[in-house]
Chain A
Amino acid sequence: MSDLQLIESTVDRAAQRRRWQRAWRGLWRGLLAAALVWLAALGAYKALPLPVTVLPAAAVAAGIVVLLSVLFHAWRRDTRLATARWIDHRQALKERLSTALELGRDAASGPWHALLVQDAARQLGRFDLRTLLPYRLPRASRWALLVLALGATLGFVPEYRSKAFLQKERDKEVIRETGRQLADLTRRSLEHRKPALENTREAIKSVGELGTDMMKNPLTRAEALKDLAKITDKVQQDARELTKSPALKAMERAARSSSANSPADADELKKQIDALQQSLGNKDARADALDKLQRDLQKAQQAAANLMNKDAQGVDAAKDSLAKTLSSLAKQSQEMGAALPALEEAIAALEAGKIDQLMKDLQIAEKDLERMREMAQALQQLQQQAEKLGKDLAEQLKNGQVEAAQTTLDKMVKQLQAANLTPEQLQKIMNDVAKATEQAGPYGKVGDLLKQAVSQLGKSDKPGAAKSLAEASKELENLMQQMADAQDLKASLDALKRAQFCVGNGMGWCNSPGPPRGGKGGKPGKGVGTWADDNNWMDPPENELWDNSGVERPDTDPRGHTDRGDGNVPEGLVPTKVKGRMSPGGQMPSITLKGVSIKGQSTVSFQETATAAQSEAQSAQSHDQVPRAYQGAVKDYFDDVKK
Chain B
Amino acid sequence: MSTEEQIAQFRESYAALRAEVGKVIVGHEAIVDGTLTALMAGGHVLLEGVPGLGKTLLVRTLGEVLDLSFSRIQFTPDLMPADIVGTNLVMETPEGRRVFEFQRGPVFAHLVLADEINRATPKTQSALLEAMQEHSVTAGGEMRRLEEPFFVLATQNPIDQEGTYPLPEAQLDRFFFKLLVGYPSADELTEVLNRTTETARAQVNRVLSRERMISLQQLVRQVPVASHVKDYAVRLVLATHPKTTTAAPIASQFLRFGSSPRGAQTLILAGKVRALAQGRFNVSFDDLRSAALPALRHRLILNFEAEAEGVTTDHIVEQILKDVPKDAEALEAQSA
Contact = CB atoms under 8 A, between A and B. Distances in A.
Interface of A: 18, 22, 73, 76, 78, 81-83, 85-86, 88-90, 94-96, 98-100, 102-103, 106, 109-113, 115-116, 119
Contact of B3 (A81, A95, A115): A115
Interface string B66-105: 0000000000000000000000000000000000000000
Interface stretch (B238-246, B249-257, B328-336): B328-336
Interface stretch (B37-45, B124-132, B171-179, B222-230): B222-230
Interface stretch (B17-25, B50-58, B186-194, B281-289): B281-289
A99 B283 CA distance: 8
30 contacts: A22-B336, A73-B336, A78-B333, A82-B330, A85-B327, A85-B330, A86-B333, A88-B327, A89-B327, A89-B331, A90-B334, A94-B280, A94-B284, A94-B285, A94-B286, A96-B280, A96-B282, A96-B284, A99-B229, A103-B226, A103-B282, A106-B224, A110-B222, A111-B3, A112-B3, A115-B281, A116-B281, A119-B280, A119-B281, A119-B282
Contacts of A102: 226-228
Contacts of B282: 94-96, 99-100, 103, 116, 119
A95 B281 contact: no
B330 A86 contact: yes
Given A89-B330, A89-B331, 16 more contacts: A78-B333, A85-B228, A85-B333, A88-B327, A89-B327, A90-B334, A94-B285, A94-B287, A96-B280, A99-B229, A100-B282, A102-B227, A106-B224, A109-B224, A111-B2, A112-B223
A112 B336 CA distance: 33
Contacts of B160: none
A306 B227 CA distance: 128
B4 interface: yes
A98 B226 contact: yes
Contacts of A76: 336
B283 to A, nearest CB: 7
Contacts of A89: 326-327, 330-331, 334
Interface residues of B, number: 28
A17 to B, nearest CB: 13
A73 B335 CA distance: 11
Interface in B295-336: 326-327, 329-331, 333-334, 336
Contacts of A82: 329-330, 333
Kindly name the residue among B226, B229, B280, B327 whose own CB sees the greatest number of chain A CB atoms within 10 A.
Answer: B226
A83 B334 CA distance: 9
Contact of B330 (A88, A110, A113, A119): A88
Contacts of A103: 224, 226, 282
Contacts of B224: 99, 103, 106, 109, 112-113, 116
B180 to A, nearest CB: 26
B330 A115 contact: no
Contacts of A18: 333
Interface of B: 2-4, 7, 222-229, 280-287, 326-327, 329-331, 333-334, 336
B334 A99 contact: no
Contacts of B285: 94-95
A85 B327 CA distance: 8
Contacts of A111: 2-4
B226 A95 contact: yes
A95 B283 CA distance: 7
A480 B228 CA distance: 100
Contacts of A116: 224, 281-282
B280 A98 contact: no
A91 to B, nearest CB: 12
Contacts of B330: 82, 85-86, 88-89
B202 to A, nearest CB: 35
B203 to A, nearest CB: 37
Kindly name the residue among B229, B280, B281 whose own CB sees the greatest number of chain A CB atoms within 10 A.
Answer: B281
A76 B332 CA distance: 12
Q: Which 4 A-B pairs have the closest CB atoms?
A: A85-B330, A94-B284, A99-B282, A99-B226
Nearest to B229: A95
A184 to B, nearest CB: 60
A421 B251 CA distance: 129
A29 to B, nearest CB: 12
Nearest to A113: B224
Nearest to A100: B282
Contacts of A113: 224
A98 B284 CA distance: 10
B334 to A, nearest CB: 6
Contacts of A112: 3, 222-224, 281
A488 to B, nearest CB: 73
B276 to A, nearest CB: 11
A119 B275 CA distance: 13
Given A94-B280, A94-B286, A85 B227 contact: no
A18 B332 CA distance: 13
A178 B331 CA distance: 66
Contacts of A98: 226, 228
Contacts of A85: 228, 327, 329-330, 333
A551 B229 CA distance: 78
Contacts of B334: 86, 89-90
Contacts of B228: 81, 85, 95, 98, 102
Nearest to B330: A85
Nearest to B4: A115
Kindly name the residue among A18, A78, A90, A95 whose own CB sees the greatest number of chain B CB atoms within 10 A.
Answer: A95
Contacts of B225: 99
Nearest to A89: B330
B324 to A, nearest CB: 15
B10 to A, nearest CB: 13
Nearest to A87: B330
A95 B284 contact: yes
Contacts of A86: 330, 333-334
A69 to B, nearest CB: 13
A99 B336 CA distance: 23
A96 B284 CA distance: 8
Nearest to B275: A94
Nearest to B286: A94
A345 B23 CA distance: 157
Contacts of B286: 94
A99 B231 CA distance: 13
A483 B291 CA distance: 110
Contacts of A119: 280-282
B5 to A, nearest CB: 11
A116 B3 CA distance: 12
A416 B144 CA distance: 152
A99 B282 CA distance: 7
A90 B285 CA distance: 13
Nearest to A115: B281
A375 B226 CA distance: 118
A88 B222 CA distance: 22
A107 to B, nearest CB: 12
B285 to A, nearest CB: 6
Contact of A110 (B3, B284, B326, B336): B3
Contacts of B333: 18, 78, 82-83, 85-86
Kindly name the residue among A18, A76, A83, A94 whose own CB sees the greatest number of chain B CB atoms within 10 A.
Answer: A94
A24 to B, nearest CB: 13
A604 to B, nearest CB: 98
